[in-house]
């Protein structure tokens, strides 16, 4: 048993790391135990290169798996109900003791019918043939002198239908050649190789891929384009706006442009090659079909094309090729990389299939089947701020850290802007530990410096392609009696607490207006901005100024759907740089108490007698950033446990 599993991991990792053979999480490999009673196979949703002894596989009882193929009762059921029943029974056939998690690959049944090692991949070179009109005839010509030629399998829907088609045609092959086929070309499904040893399976797979590649026209790599950042940003904002208008969903937009993309864009018939629908299940599942060709990034025109596709019962485009600029994909990080890989593979396949009589694409009914049964991903999310892009100043510590974490927990993409990069990185690490799939970037930023602020937003746009939420939280609180305030401390407080908020808001407003999707700007003020505190002149003045700036911006930006509000926290002690030992000592002296009595003293000044935590402020910010506050602007939420009453 352990030997079979070890062999599965080894061959999966080896072949799965070759981009010419495997794209993203596609492909399936299985290994049977020596006694033939069990089969180890890749689990759904796992990339071959990521499989380990501890994850990414399932073990199936062979008798239970094969009984599914030959069950006559299944043939009498409607196709949709039949595959549901099959999926349930494949899960029951797993006897590995793993509870929950992903089930075995939907193609597990066809693996059960072959030799100990079965490899089912989608090499680009093979896919060019199995997705082209002349593919079958060209493969027959390529292997006409072989004693045991490959077996061509016409398209069948994934799962039981494909397994039964292969079973039937394999029986015919055996009758003719007195042995089972070693190599199968699966129309729109790629390549299947079966062998008695891992070495043979890997060698044959690579050999077939190389033989096919030798018969294809190798396109000359294009010159990598050096596109101005402003052009890329404008295209990102247009695509993001169009996607939002057509789907109602927020998302990041990533940009790619290499020699392969440049070469495809230079092809005379490039737009025509992208017009046909999805070539194969993987392209449909991972990228919702081919990329959309865009002559010029006009949000309205793009939106209409997305909406037209949705009206046909299809999922929206996730990849966009802007003529002369490059590839844009909906998503960030691993999601964007997956769509990029699948799209690059599609471009290669389409260019070659186009020269072989045209492309074979999935019909509408075939696409509907794949979406339901091969794991077409859901775009829905229960996260309140899913897909929205935020930037938080002062996110490296104190309230700012709590706000960055709170936004990420609500599903938002987060840029942490802080002059203390080490502290910001710790916040990012905390977010990733708490929410492994979160999208986070650290943008070094001195909020008092216009160039630094601009650079921070440039990083944000380069990484995520848009913006929805600004949270101004960076702040300082030099506490002195009026007669003792050093003028440099006064000016420093004004620079950080007012100029910093202004510069961040100015850049945010510029982006939100260009993007034209509304947005939310939130100023973290203080209860001291409403009711002055003793010996705190710079803080009192700057915090009151923040509230008033926000009100003015709300009036100015409201017609564009941009809401601007303030949150006035009470005293938040946890993780605060403001409430440092020196500041606590000053507060103790001011109130005639001991330093250790300061926190209980301020907590007892509230109506609720409840210490305010960072998450309390984060909850208020998430509310103001969400659609629940869609009619709230120019307002101030006081989250201070009832210490200050707003009149």
d(CA 46, CA 26): 8
For the chain, the domain total comes to 3
Residues 254 and 357 in one domain: yes
In the numeric block, which tokens belong to residue 263?
């070469």
d(CA 486, CA 482): 9
> Which residue among 189, 214, 239 closes a domain?
214
Residues 355 and 207 in one domain: no
Residues 70 and 14 in one domain: yes
Q: Where are the beta strands (DSSP E) in 473-617?
A: 519-524, 562-569
Using alpha carbons only, how large is the chain's radius of gyration in Å? 30
CATH code for the domain of 627: 3.40.50.720
What tens digit of pLDDT does each residue of 585-598 get? Answer: 888 888 889 888 88
Backbone dihedral angles phi then psi of residue 495, each to the nearest 5 degrees: -65, -50
- Average pLDDT on 45-60 reads 92
Residue 416 covered by a domain: yes
CATH code for the domain of 127: 3.40.225.10
> Which residue among 349, 373, 397 closes a domain?
373
- Residue 338 pLDDT > 70: yes
Residues 208 and 316 in one domain: no
Check if the beta carbon of residue 251 is closer than 8 Å to that of residue 237. no
Share of the chain above pLDDT 90, in %: 74
d(CA 229, CA 617): 36
Residues 202 and 277 in one domain: no
∠ CA 304-521-404, nearest 5°, is 100
- Number of C-beta neighbours around residue 71 at 10 A: 16
DSSP 425-451: HHHHHHHHHH-TT--EEEEE--TT-HH
- Residue 381 pLDDT > 50: no
Residue 193 covered by a domain: yes
d(CA 369, CA 308): 21
Task: Kindly report the length of the chain.
Answer: 647
The DSSP letter of residue 529 is G
Residues 416 and 528 in one domain: yes
Residue 251 covered by a domain: yes
- Number of C-beta neighbours around residue 195 at 10 A: 20
d(CA 459, CA 448): 17
Reported as a pLDDT band with limits 50, 70 and 90, residue 646 is low
> Which residue among 347, 373, 399 closes a domain?
373
The DSSP letter of residue 50 is G
Residues 270 and 150 in one domain: no
- Average pLDDT on 554-577 reads 90
d(CA 582, CA 533): 17
Residues 67 and 168 in one domain: yes
Q: Which pLDDT does position 324 carry in this prediction? A: 94
Residue 67 covered by a domain: yes
Tokens 């492309």, residue?
Answer: 359
H or E element that contains 41: strand 38-42
Residues 191 and 239 in one domain: no
Tokens 């510069």, residue?
Answer: 503
Residues 208 and 234 in one domain: no
- Average pLDDT on 544-551 reads 97
- Residue 375 pLDDT > 60: no
Alpha helices in 50-106 (DSSP H): 62-69, 72-75, 79-92
- Residue 577 pLDDT > 90: no
Q: Is 376 left (phi over 0), alpha (psi -120 to 50) or beta?
A: beta
d(CA 264, CA 220): 9
Residue 21 covered by a domain: yes
Q: Which pLDDT does position 221 carry in this prediction? A: 67
Residue 109 covered by a domain: yes
Reported as a pLDDT band with limits 50, 70 and 90, residue 100 is low
d(CA 474, CA 495): 11
- Average pLDDT on 255-280 reads 93
Check if the beta carbon of residue 150 is closer than 8 Å to that of residue 126. no
CA distances in angstroms from 98 to 58, 95, 101, 337, 412, listed in the order given: 8, 8, 8, 30, 32
Check if the beta carbon of residue 276 is closer than 8 Å to that of residue 292. no
Q: Please identify which of the residues 480, 539, 583, 602 carries the catalytic annotation.
A: 539
Residue 499 covered by a domain: yes
Residue 380 covered by a domain: no
Reported as a pLDDT band with limits 50, 70 and 90, residue 383 is confident
The question of whether 539 is a catalytic residue gets the answer yes
Of 473, 499, 477, the closest CA to residue 418 belongs to: 473
What tens digit of pLDDT does each residue of 421-459 get? Answer: 999 999 999 999 989 889 999 999 999 999 999 999 999
Check if the beta carbon of residue 387 is closer than 8 Å to that of residue 252. yes
Backbone dihedral angles phi then psi of residue 57, each to the nearest 5 degrees: -145, 165
Q: Which pLDDT does position 645 carry in this prediction? A: 67
What tens digit of pLDDT does each residue of 503-530 get? Answer: 999 999 999 999 999 999 999 999 889 9
Range of the domain at 75: 2-214
Reported as a pLDDT band with limits 50, 70 and 90, residue 99 is confident
Residues 458 and 557 in one domain: yes
Residues 397 and 507 in one domain: yes
- Residue 377 pLDDT > 50: no
H or E element that contains 462: helix 450-464
In the numeric block, which tokens belong to residue 253?
């937009």
């Amino acid at each position: 048993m352990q030997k079979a599993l070890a062999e599965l991991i080894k061959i999966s990792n080896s072949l799965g790391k070759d981009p010419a053979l495997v794209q993203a999480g596609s492909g399936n490999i299985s290994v049977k135990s020596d006694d033939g009673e069990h089969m180890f196979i890749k689990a759904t949703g796992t990339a071959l290169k990521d499989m380990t002894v501890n994850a990414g596989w399932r073990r199936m009882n062979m008798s239970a798996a094969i009984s599914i193929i030959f069950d006559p009762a299944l043939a009498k059921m409607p196709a949709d109900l039949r595959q549901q029943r099959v999926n349930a029974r494949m899960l029951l056939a797993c006897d590995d003791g793993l509870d929950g998690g992903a089930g075995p690959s939907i193609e597990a049944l066809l693996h059960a019918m072959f030799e100990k090692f079965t490899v089912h991949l989608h090499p680009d070179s093979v896919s060019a043939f199995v997705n082209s009109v002349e593919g079958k005839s060209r493969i027959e010509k390529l292997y006409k002198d072989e004693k045991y030629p490959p077996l061509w399998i016409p398209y069948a829907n994934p799962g039981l239908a494909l397994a039964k088609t292969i079973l039937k045609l394999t029986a015919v092959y055996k009758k003719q050649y007195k042995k089972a086929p070693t190599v199968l070309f699966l129309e729109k499904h790629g390549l299947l190789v079966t062998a008695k040893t891992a070495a043979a399976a890997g060698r044959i797979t690579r050999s077939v891929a190389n033989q096919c590649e030798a018969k294809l026209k190798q396109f000359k790599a294009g010159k990598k384009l050096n596109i101005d950042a402003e052009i890329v940003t404008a295209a990102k904002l247009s695509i993001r706006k169009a996607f939002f208008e057509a789907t109602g969903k927020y998302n990041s937009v990533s940009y790619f442009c290499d020699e392969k993309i440049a070469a495809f864009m230079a092809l005379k018939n490039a737009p025509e090659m992208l017009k046909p629908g999805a070539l194969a299940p993987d392209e449909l599942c991972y990228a919702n079909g081919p990329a959309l060709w865009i002559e010029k990034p006009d949000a309205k025109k793009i939106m209409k094309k997305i909406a037209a596709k949705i009206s046909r019962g299809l999922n929206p485009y996730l990849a966009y090729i802007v003529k002369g600029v490059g590839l844009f994909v909906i998503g960030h990080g691993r999601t964007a990389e997956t769509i990029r890989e699948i799209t690059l593979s599609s471009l290669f396949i389409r260019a070659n299939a186009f020269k072989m009589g045209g492309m074979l694409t999935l019909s509408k009914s075939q696409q509907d089947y794949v979406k339901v049964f091969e794991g077409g991903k859901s775009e829905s999310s229960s996260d309140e701020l899913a897909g929205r892009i935020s930037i938080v100043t002062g996110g490296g510590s104190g309230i700012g850290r709590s706000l960055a974490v709170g936004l990420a927990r609500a599903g938002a993409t987060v840029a942490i802007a802080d002059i203390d990069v080490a502290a910001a990185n710790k916040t990012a690490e905390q977010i990733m530990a708490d929410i492994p799939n979160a999208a986070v970037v650290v943008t070094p930023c001195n909020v008092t410096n216009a160039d630094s602020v601009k650079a921070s937003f440039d990083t944000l746009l380069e990484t995520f392609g848009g913006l929805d939420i600004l949270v101004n939280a960076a702040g300082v609180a030099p506490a002195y009696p009026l007669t003792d305030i050093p003028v440099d401390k006064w000016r420093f407080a004004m620079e950080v607490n007012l100029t910093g908020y202004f510069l961040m808001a100015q850049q945010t407003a510029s982006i939100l207006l260009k993007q034209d999707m509304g947005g939310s700007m939130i100023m973290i003020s203080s209860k001291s901005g409403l009711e002055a505190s003793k010996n705190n002149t710079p803080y009192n003045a700057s915090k009151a100024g923040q509230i008033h700036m926000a009100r003015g911006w709300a009036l100015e930006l409201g017609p564009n759907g941009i809401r601007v509000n303030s949150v006035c926290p009470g005293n938040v002690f946890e993780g605060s740089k403001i409430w440092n030992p020196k500041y606590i000592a000053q507060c103790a002296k001011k109130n005639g108490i001991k330093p250790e009595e300061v926190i209980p003293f301020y907590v007892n000044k509230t109506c609720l007698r409840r210490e305010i935590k960072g998450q309390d402020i984060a909850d208020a910010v998430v509310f103001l950033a969400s659609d629940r506050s869609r009619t709230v602007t120019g307002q101030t939420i006081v989250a201070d446990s009832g210490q200050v009453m707003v009149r």
